[in-house]
Structure formats: C-alpha cells, structure tokens
Amino acid sequence: MRTIELKCIECDAKSKMYSMEHDGNGNAAAAFTCTNDYCRASFVFSWRYARTGQKEGLKPIEYVNVKATKISGRGIGFACLPCPECGEKANIKKTNRIHKEIYTVYHNCMSCGLNYSSQMHYSHTITMSALKVNDGLRHLLSVMTPEQLKGLAKASGNATMLPKN
C-alpha cells in the first residue's frame, strides 16, 4: 500500500500526511507537514470522491475508514478513503498533481476490486513556512512607527537591534 506524499505548498519538498478526519459535509480533511527542516509548513487539503465507478459520479464521504490509517513516526502510513462500495481500505495506485493546489488520487479496493478516484484541493495553512517568517518580520518592522520601534527595543533590552534611521 502506498503512502500519500504531496509536494509542500511553500517549498515543493516532500510532505507527509499526519492527520485525517471526516468533516460531516461529505468531505474528508487531510493534514500534511513538510519534511524540509528549514520549512516545516503544515497545511490542509479537502478530500472528496471524484469518480466512484462506472455507474456513479460524485458521492459524499460518509466516514473515514479507521482500518485504513496506520500512524507511524513519519506520519500516517496507510491513509485512504474507504471504498464507496464495500467500505474497506484500498490501495493508492497513483497521485497526479494537476496544479500546485489540486491533486487527483487513484485508488483500487483490495476487497471488491473497484477502481475509483478522488480529488484533493488545498484548503488552508496551519503553520506558516519558516522560510517566510523573516519576510513577515521584515514587513512588520517596516510598517512600525519610530516610537513603536523604540518601545520594542526597550522591551527586548537590546537597542542595537533597531534599524538605523
């Protein structure tokens, strides 16, 4: 069985799924974290069935199969949506990146043999990439007034850190 690994939204490094849950609206939510030690961004993808066989089109996700998740130190090892026909876990055969924020995942049920696909869409960021923290601090310092900067320096006890203006 193949683990789900996506490219990080921020740095394109490998990211692994560490959490998966059903949201009650026919979607599942999958949380990923970047394996790049310099980035460490965490983000969520919304996940739903795309094609559930020849006879059916879109189908809401009613639950997340607990038998399909095996949590290890490196994240969830065998996370997948339950088969829409029999509810058992399925192999993930292939993951196609359509866009930076859109993936198609192809599944094959080990129990009934159904082949189906699902769509994953970027939902939101949990923690910002450490690569972008300096940009945020630089912007914050550039919009602060001289009085705010002096107050920050006084509070930190280090006036040498202030920009020279």
> Does residue 89 share a domain with residue 39?
yes
Find all residues with CB under 8 Å of 37, minimum gap 6, and list them.
none
Residue 75 CA neighbour count, 13 Å, CB half: 21
Side chain identity, residue 165: N
| pLDDT of amino acid 1 | 44
In whole angstroms, what is the distance from residue 147 CA to residue 132 CA?
26
Side chain identity, residue 16: K
In whole angstroms, what is the distance from residue 151 CA to residue 159 CA?
10
In whole angstroms, what is the distance from residue 112 CA to residue 122 CA?
30
> Does residue 114 share a domain with residue 146?
no
Range of the domain at 147: 133-161
Q: In this predicted model, which residue has the larger pLDDT, 46 or 60?
A: 46
Q: Into how many domains does the chain fold?
A: 2
Q: In this predicted model, which residue has the larger pLDDT, 59 or 164?
A: 59
Least-confidence region, from 59-73, 119-133, 146-160: 59-73
User: Of the candidates 64, 56, 41, which has an alpha carbon nearest to the alpha carbon of residue 122?
Assistant: 41
Looking at the DSSP assignment, which residues form a beta bridge with residue 117? 51, 106
Q: In this predicted model, which residue has the larger pLDDT, 124 or 67?
A: 124
> Does residue 105 share a domain with residue 53?
yes
> Does residue 24 share a domain with residue 70?
yes
When pLDDT is averaged across residues 135-155 and rounded to a whole number, the result is 79
Residues 1-57: tens digit of each pLDDT? 456 788 888 888 888 887 788 777 777 888 888 888 888 888 888 888 776 655 556
> Does residue 108 share a domain with residue 76?
yes
Strands (E), 52-165: 71-72, 75-76, 90-99, 102-109, 115-127
In whole angstroms, what is the distance from residue 14 CA to residue 146 CA?
42
What pTM value is reported for the model?
Answer: 0.66
